[in-house]
Every structure is written in structure tokens, then in C-alpha cells.
Chain A
Amino acid sequence: MLTHLQQLEAESIHILREAVAESERPVMLYSIGKDSSVMLRLAQKAFSPSAPPFPLLHVDTTWKFREMYEFRDKAVAEAGMQLLVHQNPEALAAGINPFTHGSAVHTDVWKTEGLKQALDLHRFDLAFGGARRDEEKSRAKERVFSIRSAAHRWNPKSQRPELWRLYNARVNPGESVRVFPLSNWTELDVWQYIRLEETPIVSLYLAKPRPVVERDGTLIIVDDDRMPLHENEVPELRSVRFRTLGCYPLTGAVPSDASTITEVIGEMLVATSSERQGRVIDHDSAASMEKKKQEGYF
């Protein structure tokens, strides 16, 4: 009998192949996080011995951790795939950053708008994303193949029924499909898979001493000199790791001594806070993730 990880892998591969077969211009959103790493690995498996027949797209905010950029370039080179990097030119010109503009505006302009621009620019009709249904309550109802309007909006009220393994990827002009091959994976499944498959991930997920300051109860690491320090703030070296990776000023670290995947999983199993807590963006308002999705944030 197949184990749950074998089943999850086989199902994700099936989804990836269906999506490619039923679309004209697919792309894979690559965010450099652990879910992206697993999704990329699954894509390689789905199409092997061919390379995955689509490019990777990184919607960049210029505010990612330096290590993430290095990891990205290496991972893409190893996969032998094409990488497209999009930085919203308007955000670039306006110098949008999380410090002066706040997390909401920063995320909206760089990520939400940036993603729409990139998809429109390249006329992609299907984009793979690494979101999971267990991440957040509103996602539990998300389809594996989820239709976005021409304005990239998600309408939770008019989703297509999804039966058996039959996915409907047909769209009207201007509409596009988001496909989530990891829909039925949980955070623990992802970590177990990374461990079993020895999938490379950014080392920020593993604990090591890093310079941090504590702000509003969140540990922020000082990744480069663009970060303005408040008065009395002195970065101190603490052993921390990240449960989730985004823009460094918006991603809180957790104190930890887990320096291997196995130890990370060990910590996770006794964890006292769920994954998304580290994302400052989620604290903004109660149903904020859902609102963001309706507006087109992935």
C-alpha cells in the first residue's frame, strides 16, 4: 500500500501534468520558500526525463533576504529552467518599502500588483502556486484549479465544482487559472517530504546566530543596511530560524536551536504557534488573507 507521502506526491504530479496539458502558457510562481522548493521538486519528477515545460517566475520585492536571492539563482541553474524575475517598476520608482509605507501597502504594490503585471506582461494563462489548504481557514475551500477574473480576482462564491481527478482548466479570454499542486499537503507533510527527499531549502529555515532586533514582539533580522534602526535598538546576535520566508523586514524569526531538518520537525511537533504567525501581514485584520486573495494576492 502507498504511504500518505507517496499518495500526495503522485497526486501532485498528476495535477502538474493535467495543468500543463490543458493550458497554453503555464508558469510556476517561485517564491524561494520551502513550499516552492517542494513544488519545484515535484515538477521535475512529473516531467522527467524532460525538464519541466514552463518557466519559473519570481515576483520580487527587492526586500527578500540576501540568502534567498543566492539560493534562488543556484536552484534555478540546477533545475535547468528559465527564470523570469519581475520587479514592479512603479514600486521601484516610488521606492516603496515596508518601513515608510507599512506592510499593507508594501505587499499590495510589490506583490499583488507585481504579480498581476507579470502575468499580463507574459500573457500566462495558468500559474502554479505553492499554497496549501491547511495554511489558513479561507484556503480550505480553495479549488486545486482556481479561476481568476481578467482583473485577477478570486470569487469564492462562484467556484467550479471539482470532482474525482477531473480538473476544468478552461477559461474565457483574459481569465487565468491558478493551480495549487500542494493543496492537500500540510506543513508537516512538506517537512517530512523535504527530509525524505533531501530537498534543498534556504538555510534561513535552520537555526544559527543572526543579528536581530525585537519590534512589536517580533524578531526581525537586520539583513542589510537599508533597515533604519530605532533609537535604543541595538542588533543582538541570537540563535533564530524562520518558519516562513518573505520580505526580511516583514518576517519574524523564532528563537530556536534546531539546526537540522529533523530538529526543525521536532520543534514543530511541540510548536506553540502556527506557521503564519511569523508573517506580519496576517495580523492586519481578521479576515485579511481572504480579502487579499480576492484582490489577487496569491
Chain B
Amino acid sequence: MTVLTGPGPTASEIEEYLSAHERKSMLRFITCGSVDDGKSTLIGRLLYESKLILDDQLSALEADSKRYGTQGEELDLALLVDGLAAEREQGITIDVAYRFFTTNTRKFVVADTPGHEQYTRNMVTGASTADLAVILVDARKGVLTQTRRHSFLVSLLGIRKIVLAINKLDLLDFSQTVAAEIEADYRRFAEQLGLEDVVAIPMSALTGDNVTSPSSRMPWYDGPTLLGHLEQVQTAELDPTEPFRMPVQWINRPDPQFRGASGMVVRGSIRPGDPVQVLPSGNESTIARVVTADGDLEQAVAGQSVTLTLTDEIDVSRGDVLSSVRDAAQVGDQFEAHIVWMSEQRMLPLRSYLFKQGTRRTTATLSQPKYKINVNTLDKTAATSLALNEIGVCNLSLSEPIAFDPYDDNREMGGFILIDRITNDTVAAGLLHFALRRSSNISWQAIEVDKQAHIALKGHQPGVVWFTGLSGAGKSTIANLVEKRLHAAGRHTYLLDGDNVRHGLNRDLGFSEIDRIENIRRVAEVSKLMVDAGLIVLASFISPYAADRAMARNLVGPNEFCEVFVDTPLSVAESRDRKGLYGKARSGKLPNFTGVDAPYEAPEAPEVYIDTTLASPEEASEQVIAALREMGIID
């Protein structure tokens, strides 16, 4: 590699060097290996050999090598890539790190992921943006369970190019027989996964043989060095003749004359004059201009960030996808999907999560997994849920249709994440494969007697008044009083109560966490229908989980949900115990009883807060009425 050397390169040498470097391409790859296979040593060596280790880093490395190193007096190149202090102390890497090095022809971005516990989550993250995977094998150990696991994850995430790095051959006299056996063994397995493009390279990361320069100690090998291969390998050439897709990020509207849709082209290419479809609405138009800050373009290809203007004034907003009309993206709201669970909190079937794909955000629920996949054996086993680092196949149901391509056709159009609505953490990654039923008629059937018509007839705004609190807190008492007052004032109301619903609609449900979520989901959906019908719904349910109440809230309009937290200390509720439930729960006859052996997540910002130790039921109902007035539900 020629980084310039010597005290003073001439200006023309620099110019020449720079113009070459300005034409470089970029390759992203991931390194996978089990602990101690030599991953850090290998990456350290690539950085070191590409001369990106500068003098002061080198002296820090020398000091670190003495202090933490495993190589005695030698430099421990692995320490170049061990980042955080805590990890250094434990001697392991715990997360995904990104490293960079550059040669004359390419810039490389390496996703470095550790091989231990959190492997699935980290490896999936690193693989999601990689074009190629380097899979390390310790030649003394051969292809291990972990090797299979890494290969499966890499293939799941759509990486088709594999380098099998057969490492530590220095410890086996650079044996050709060993290398050949490992390679054959691996190829047999890789074929089952559909990984065909495998290049096996025998090497020693420690001594550098076949890493950046050909090894004189392995004369039997005539293939490329690792770096040589990485420099030359063809990346999935982005094909401009593929169908065009651009998820819209932002509407650019500096003045009334200009209205553009900004985004990154993720598939195919686009030119002025090309017909496009806005999905999921299905409206069609034609590209007028491809705008960038550096002037209009004749064509934009995948990977470019641009702003497109259309010839017609049609509705386009963030979250829409601009698609070619030929081979347009599919639209759907029910899918089969692979789910990789990434949170310590288990997946809860039927719970509502935020869903993000492309630039679209909506809400989603997952079915119970159809099966989960043992990442070591690839066996499929039955499952009711997914825990951290587990992978399964589930049905995914969205609250509105989206435009997508199958993940195998395009990562950006088929990959999604799920976000917990309360903690806001990213809890899962998923891959869309196909829609369970195509949403063929994209626009909803227009209903002629619609919500507005119902409201007009009723003469008041509809809404949901959601009472939450412990059993015996006084929810039903207050809800009853509120309903009486509304009814007396001529409002159309309906009271949904835990007991009346559980005797009918929900009589198939028990009190496990999953059943409780389903109980609230059905009640929330019924409430929503009643709001569409123009009613004021009073829903009185313990509803202990914040996420479920948030889901109920999201089903109706912003000014249509009034959460009433009926707060009563557990001891007070328990002493009231009119139905004798706490007694039964305490004696173990009623498992999963909220407050006793199941949690209650108190609302953080309810519209109405009632402390029943201070307010009488009448005063409480007065508080609710006042809140409804303020929200404009009643006047």
C-alpha cells in the first residue's frame, strides 16, 4: 500500500494521489468469529498494515501492550480495536464497533462484532449494512457450532459474499491438508444456507501471512490475500434498471413555487419524465426535476440523496414511497416476517409496538411465533413468545398499509424495526417476506354514513373516558356517576365494564399477561367503533399496562381520549374488598392479581387524576365532567 512516504512529497504527487483517492469505492464488511478466534488481531493487523496507525497511537499501543497485552514484549494488535474501558478490563468486546481503513482503491468500513452472548443482536446489527462477511475459523478447532450460527445470521441478513478466513495456521505448520478439510467441511454446510460465493483464505492474523501480503510459508496456496480479495471483490452492483424506489423523508417547501420530496433512492434509478406512483395511496404523476444543491441531475441512482419534484400537485408526505409504475412496490398491512428479538423484555404477542420501515412509522402487533429457529442447529421449534437474541417467524399486522419489497429483493424496503411505546427502545428487527393478503383496493371503501354523519345526528363530540386503577379503587362507582350525569344532560353514552365484557365478548380470556393484553385490545377496538358511531364510551378496566392504554389512546383521535387515573393505595383498596377478591388472591386462589402478584403501571400524565382518599365519588365525577368540557367533548 502506498501511503506517501518521505519528508516532502511534491505538490503534483499529492494531486495525483488525491485524484486517485477521490475515485475510490467503498466496501462494508463484517467480521464474525468466536471469542479468541483472532478477530481483533486480524482487524488490528489490517489497520496496522494499511499504515493508519499513527505514531502517538503506536506509543499508546506499546504502553497498552505491556499493561493489558497477551503477546509478552510484542505489540498486541488486538488492543488497537478494544475500545471502552470496561471492556478492556474484562478483556472482551461487548458491542458493535465500526473501524475504517483505506487503500489506494477502496475505503473499508468494518463492523466488528463480538462472538459471545449478545452475538445475535450485535451480529444482526453489523450485518444489516454489510456487503460481505469475513467468517473466522481457528484452524485448530475447525468449523464449530458458532461458525454455523454466524453463517446463518449472515445469510438471513442477505449477505451473499463470504470469506472463510482459516486462521492460526502458524500453529499447524501451515498445513494444506488441514486447510483443505476445513474448507470442504464449510462448503458443505454453506450450500444448505444457499451461500455459494465462498472464498477460503488460509492465514495467520498474528504473523500476517496472507493477510496483506502473500505467504511464503504457504506456497501451495495461489489465491488472493485477504486484503487483495477485499480490494477486488465486486460489490452487489446497484442495477439502475431495477424498479425505482424512494422513501420520502421530508417535504421541501421553501416558497409557494417549489414543492419537492426529499429522500434517498434505495433501488433502481430515476430521470425527469419518468412516471411514478405514490404509495400506498396509488396516485400517479411524472418526475419534473431531480434537484440537488449542486444542480439538477439527468438521473439519480440508488444511494443518492436527492429532491424530486412532480408535474402534478398530488399529495405526497413523509412515509410515502415514490415507486416506478412498472414493477411498482407492493402494498400490504398483514405480513409474514422474520423477527429478531433484541430486548431483555420478552416479545408480547398482540401488544402494540411502533413499527418503522423506510421512512414510515405506524403501529404493529405480532402473532404468537409460528416457530422459532435454533440458530445453532437451524431446527424449528414451537414458541409462544421470543426472548432476547431469539429469532422466529410471526405474522405481523399493521394499523395501516405500507409499500414494501420482500427483504431479499431490497433491504431498505423490506427491513423494519419495532420500538417499545413506553421505553422507546428498539426491541426488534424484522424482515418482511410477503404480504398475507394483498391490499388490492388501496383506498378504503368509502362509507356513506360516516363518523361525521353520526356525530351530526348525536349533536355532540364522541370520545373515550378510560378509567384505570386497582381492583376496588372505585372506577366503576365513578364511571357510573359520570354516565348518569352525561345521560341526564342528553349525551349518548355507553359504559364498558370489566365484568360485563368478561361475561360475553371476552369470556375466552383469563388473567395471564397475554390474555390481559388481548382483553384490553378488544375493549379498545370496541371503544373505537363506538366512537365512530358517535358515542361517549366510559371504559372501566384495571388495565395495568401503560403500553395497552397507550394503544387504546392511539386508536382514536387526539382529543377523543380522556384517561382517568383512579388512585387508591393498595391497603385502602384491599380493605374495601367488596367482592372478596383480595382475600382470594392473598390466599393464592387468584393468581396474577394486580397489586398482589401482578404489576400495575401507574399512568404518568393522565388527563384526570383522582385521589380517592381525598375526593368523594361525587367530587371525582365532577372532575371528570370538567375535563371533558375542557377537551371539547361536551360543552
Interface residues of A (CB under 8 A from B): 1-11, 13-14, 17-18, 20-21, 44-51, 133-134, 137-141, 156-157, 159-166, 168, 170-172, 183-184, 186, 188-189, 192, 195-196, 262-263, 265-266, 269-274, 277, 286-287, 290-291
Contacts and interface: CB of A to CB of B under 8 A. Distances in A.
Contacts of A11: 305
A273 B264 CA distance: 37
Nearest to A168: B426
B424 A166 contact: no
Which of A44, A161, A168, A291 is the most central at the interface, judged by chain B CB atoms within 10 Å of its CB?
A161
A288 B318 CA distance: 41
Nearest to A7: B26
- Most chain B CB within 10 A, of A134, A162, A172, A196, is at A162
A272 B55 CA distance: 5
Contact of B25 (A4, A165, A263): A4
A44 B26 contact: no
B348 to A, nearest CB: 19
Interface in B583-619: none
Contacts of B128: 163-164
Interface string B76-117: 000001111110100000111111101000110100100000
A137 B82 contact: yes
A63 B250 CA distance: 38
Interface in B285-313: 291-294, 301, 303-305, 307
B68 to A, nearest CB: 11
A47 B55 CA distance: 40
24 contacts: A3-B26, A4-B24, A6-B303, A17-B262, A46-B305, A48-B292, A49-B291, A138-B84, A140-B81, A140-B99, A140-B112, A141-B98, A161-B426, A161-B429, A164-B415, A166-B415, A166-B416, A168-B426, A195-B18, A263-B11, A266-B4, A266-B13, A270-B3, A271-B54
B46 to A, nearest CB: 14
Determine the main DSSP class of A at the interface with B: helix
B83 A270 contact: no
Contact of A262 (B11, B56, B254, B291): B11
A17 B57 contact: no
B305 A10 contact: yes
Contacts of A141: 83-84, 95-98
A63 B182 CA distance: 61
A232 to B, nearest CB: 28
A188 B303 CA distance: 22
A165 B13 CA distance: 38
Contacts of A45: 292-294
Nearest to A270: B4
A157 B344 CA distance: 13
B425 A188 contact: no
Interface string B1-35: 00111111101011101100111111000000000
Contact of B419 (A4, A47, A50, A170): A170
Across the A-B interface, the 9 shortest Cβ-Cβ residue pairs: A48-B293, A287-B85, A13-B305, A274-B54, A45-B293, A140-B97, A4-B26, A266-B14, A170-B424
Given A274-B54, A290-B85, A50 B100 contact: no
Nearest to A144: B98
B359 A192 contact: no
Given A138-B83, A171-B424, A166 B254 contact: no
A44 B437 CA distance: 43
A170 B354 contact: yes
Contact of A192 (B8, B18, B83): B18
Given A49-B258, A262-B18, 8 more contacts: A1-B237, A6-B304, A17-B249, A49-B254, A161-B125, A164-B412, A186-B107, A272-B55
A164 B411 contact: yes
A22 B23 CA distance: 34
A45 B264 CA distance: 13
A55 to B, nearest CB: 17
Contacts of B125: 161-163
A157 B87 CA distance: 10
A162 B128 CA distance: 9
B252 interface: yes
Given A20-B250, A170-B419, A140 B304 contact: no
A18 B249 contact: yes
B364 interface: no
Nearest to A22: B361
Nearest to A287: B85
Contacts of A274: 54-57
A269 B9 contact: yes
Contacts of B354: 170
B129 interface: yes
Contacts of A277: 56
Given A159-B95, A164-B412, A269 B252 contact: no
A287 B4 CA distance: 31
Contact of A137 (B83, B95, B250): B83
Contacts of B83: 137-141
B124 A163 contact: yes
Contact of A1 (B25, B107, B318): B25
Nearest to B300: A10
Interface string B410-429: 01100111010001111001
Contact of B121 (A5, A47, A161): A161
Interface in B561-602: none
Given A3-B24, A137-B83, A277-B56, A21 B318 contact: yes
Contacts of B88: 287
A48 to B, nearest CB: 4
B304 A2 contact: yes
A20 B318 CA distance: 12
Contacts of B386: none
B253 A50 contact: yes
B9 A164 contact: no
B342 interface: yes
B17 A269 contact: yes
B225 interface: no
A244 to B, nearest CB: 13
Nearest to B28: A184
A166 B14 contact: no
B102 A188 contact: yes
B240 to A, nearest CB: 10
B15 to A, nearest CB: 7
A138 to B, nearest CB: 5
A135 to B, nearest CB: 11
A253 to B, nearest CB: 16
Contacts of A2: 25, 301, 303-304
A165 B410 CA distance: 13
Given A3-B22, A161-B125, A168-B419, A270 B7 contact: yes
Given A18-B359, A140-B97, A270-B5, A50 B22 contact: no
A292 B77 CA distance: 26
B432 to A, nearest CB: 12
Contact of A10 (B17, B238, B304): B304
A163 B250 contact: no
Task: Name the residue among B56, B122, B124 with the largest chain A CB count within 10 angstroms.
Answer: B56
